[in-house]
A and B are shown apart, each in its own frame.
Chain A
Amino acid sequence: MGRINRSRSGGSSDDDHFPAMTITWLGFLSCCAVFGLVFSCPVVAQMGAASAAGQTAPAWVAQVKVSRGIVRIERGGQRFPSPVGARLKVEDTVITEANGSVGLMFADNSTLSMGPGGEVFLHTFSYDPTTYMGAFDAFVKQGTVSLQAGNLAQGAPDSVKIRTPQAEVKGNARQFLVSVEEKK
């Protein structure tokens, strides 16, 4: 990454000097490939496409990092199991049964975790990793939820929103706790 040309606008010469590095240690990774629980084909189709917004990013917005008991993802009217490694997209609903809990990590490093008997709908997630601008909007229908703010919260005030049946939460807080009792 060494040389910096004075005029970058000139073209791609910088790029040519950028290291074609050899990282042999990654050979190990093929063995420990835990990855790949991709739920939908479009993810693969969109891979590798660099967007103008300044990223090469998968279509998924979050990944299940912790999954205990029964956890499901509802997508397009269908329910899928949601083991560790599963990916989430916008408009997915995450559901935990009475014995379930789940921890998600989003593309901007924010995390959402939920205790048993919970249901959260991922209404909006947009994120530009270059500028940190975007929006997060989740609806907590029921359950106990902890949200740790990520890069989006730095990008613009009020970019992070949580809604519940009776209220709406915004702000630049570092960690939100929201609990919604089940409707009887």
Chain B
Amino acid sequence: MTISTRRPSLILAAALALELLAACSGPREYFSVLPDHDGKTGQMVVTPRQGTALTLDRTNASATVRGGEISPAKLSEAELKEMYREALSAQPMAPTRFLIYFVEGGDILTAESQRELDNVLAEIKKRPAPDLIVVDHTDRIGSVADNDRLALRRAEKVRSQLVAQGFSPESISASGRGEREPLVATADEIAEARNRRVEILVR
């Protein structure tokens, strides 16, 4: 009799104890947000298995999750640098961007772009496993779809030239951004030579 009346509370206590155990034991997870070179962090939204999401949007803002539950964490820049020392030091070099222009109406590179190609080569040599991305941009003459096709065709042409010159095909990709990323903002249907360019990314 006494046992049976106690049982529910015992079960409750056991369940509570288990939950507490789960919450304060088991592997921990940490989440932090770092700023980019401009000091912008953006938002990092961490949603734990249980409970509500936490938004990290200030430099070095951190959260920890344990037993599926989230709480804010205080980690200094020095602590983060120590915690992520190897991961941060294994970050690949940022890609380097080169802009290539051709003389109007022809197939000859401008003198400046010719020199730029030497810089591309120098950059390739600096990297242990370089790959290239060729991106063509157009101006705003024509429709978006037509400019996409045009940009891709041109980028592919440059790419096949590079491949023909002995560059490994697996290491170059070509894509077109069409008129989406003008260097100089213009109204639609405006010819703008500075926007007709090929970008070479060495990564």
The interface of chain A, by Cβ under 8 A from chain B, is 1-4, 6-9, 12, 14-15, 17-30, 32-38, 43-44, 47-48, 50, 54-58, 60, 63-66, 68, 84-85, 87, 101-105, 107, 109, 111, 113-116, 118, 129-131, 142-146, 148-149, 153, 164-184
Contact = CB atoms under 8 A, between A and B. Distances in A.
B107 to A, nearest CB: 3
Contacts of A20: 107, 157, 161
A58 B132 CA distance: 12
Nearest to B121: A25
Nearest to A127: B175
B162 interface: yes
Given A1-B198, A178-B30, A9 B142 contact: yes
A19 B108 contact: yes
B84 A56 contact: no
B203 A2 contact: no
A17 B161 CA distance: 15
Interface string B192-203: 010011100101
A19 B107 contact: yes
A42 to B, nearest CB: 12
A69 to B, nearest CB: 9
A114 B90 contact: yes
A63 B131 contact: yes
Given A15-B153, A175-B33, A175-B35, A146 B117 contact: no
A166 B29 contact: yes
B56 A167 contact: no
Contacts of B166: 26-27, 29-30, 33
Contacts of B47: 167-170
A131 B144 CA distance: 11
Contacts of B107: 17-21
B27 A180 contact: yes
Nearest to B168: A35
Contacts of B101: 1
A149 B175 contact: no
Contacts of B109: 19, 21
Interface in B162-194: 162, 165-171, 173-178, 180, 191, 193
28 contacts: A8-B150, A12-B153, A15-B157, A18-B157, A23-B165, A29-B124, A35-B131, A35-B168, A38-B170, A44-B170, A47-B169, A50-B152, A56-B159, A84-B128, A84-B129, A85-B129, A105-B92, A130-B178, A130-B180, A166-B27, A166-B48, A169-B44, A174-B40, A175-B36, A177-B80, A179-B31, A180-B27, A181-B28
Contact of B35 (A6, A9, A174): A174
Contacts of B173: 55-58, 107, 129
Interface string B126-145: 01111101011011011100
Given A102-B90, A113-B87, A168-B46, 7 more contacts: A23-B161, A35-B130, A36-B170, A68-B86, A109-B95, A166-B65, A173-B33
A102 B90 CA distance: 6
Q: Which 4 A/B pairs are nearest by Cβ-Cβ distance?
A: A19-B107, A26-B165, A115-B86, A65-B92
A184 B26 CA distance: 8
A129 B109 CA distance: 25
A12 B87 CA distance: 48
Interface in B41-98: 41-49, 55-57, 65-68, 70, 80, 83-93, 95
